[in-house]
């Protein structure tokens, strides 16, 4: 099957998804750059083969090739923490009040 090989120099991860989307993502949303290598299955469940914060000078190689194996993946937990829930509730209440103040909704 065709898939991706992530080589970090000390280890290789092999990833492909027959029923979903394979993701390779670099994100710095919450601080240092973070490398994600995973997939989203059609049933909406995300899995990750590898993720790590990057440091200046880090090197990795991504190869698209025919692979015979897929590395074991870990299911990602998307459950909100109580802190996440509280932030969402506060955001909702603030937006609701703004819409009431603007006359767009009736309390």
What Å distances lie between residue 2 and 12, 18, 91, CA to CA? Answer: 16, 9, 43
Residue 4 makes CB contacts below 8 A (sequence gap 6+) with 14, 15, 16, 22, 24, 37, 62, 63, 64, 65, 67
**Coil, strand or helix: which one is 40?**
strand
Q: Is 0.85 surpassed by the pTM of this model?
A: no
d(CA 48, CA 74): 5
93 with 45, same domain: the answer is: no
Domain that holds residue 27: 2-76
Cα of first residue to Cα of last residue in the chain, in angstroms, is: 56
Q: Check residues 85 and 101 and name the one with the higher pLDDT.
A: 101
Q: pLDDT tens digit string along 2-52?
A: 889 999 999 999 998 877 678 888 888 767 888 889 888 777 778 888 888
41 with 19, same domain: the answer is: yes
105 with 70, same domain: the answer is: no
Q: How many domains does the chain have?
A: 2
d(CA 86, CA 104): 25
61 with 15, same domain: the answer is: yes
Q: pLDDT tens digit string along 61-82?
A: 999 999 988 888 877 665 666 7
């Amino acid at each position: 099957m065709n898939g991706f090989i992530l080589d970090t120099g000390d280890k290789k991860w092999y990833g492909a998804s027959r029923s979903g989307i394979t993701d390779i993502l670099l994100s710095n949303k919450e601080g240092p750059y973070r490398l994600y290598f995973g997939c989203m299955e059609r049933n909406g469940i995300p899995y990750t083969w590898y993720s790590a914060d990057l440091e200046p000078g880090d090197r990795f190689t991504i190869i698209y090739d025919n692979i015979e194996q897929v590395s074991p993946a870990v299911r990602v937990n998307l459950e909100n923490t109580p802190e996440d829930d509280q932030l969402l509730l506060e955001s909702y209440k603030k937006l609701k009040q703004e819409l009431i103040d603007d006359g767009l909704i009736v309390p």
